[in-house]
Amino acid sequence: MAAKKIGNSTETKADYFRVSLTLPKELDDYLEKFGSEAKSKGGFKLAKTTIIRSMIRSMMQLKVDLKEVKQEEDLEKRIEAAFKKNGK
* Tens digits of residue pLDDT in 30-87: 999 999 999 999 999 999 999 999 999 999 999 999 999 999 999 999 999 999 998 7
Contact assessment for residue 39 and residue 56, using Cβ atoms and an 8 Å cutoff: no
Q: Is residue 6 part of a domain?
A: no
Determine the residue type at 39.
K
Q: Is residue 14 part of a domain?
A: no
Q: Is residue 75 part of a domain?
A: yes
pLDDT score of 13 more than 80: no
This prediction's pTM: 0.78
In degrees and rounded to multiples of 5, residue 53 shows phi and psi of: -60, -40
Q: Count CB neighbours of 82 within 10 A.
A: 16
Q: Count CB neighbours of 88 within 10 A.
A: 9
| Tally of domains in the chain | 1
What letters, b where the CB count within 10 A reaches 16 and e where it falls short, cover 53-67? eeeeeeeeeeebeee
Q: Is residue 73 part of a domain?
A: yes
Q: Which residue range is the domain that position 60 belongs to?
A: 25-85
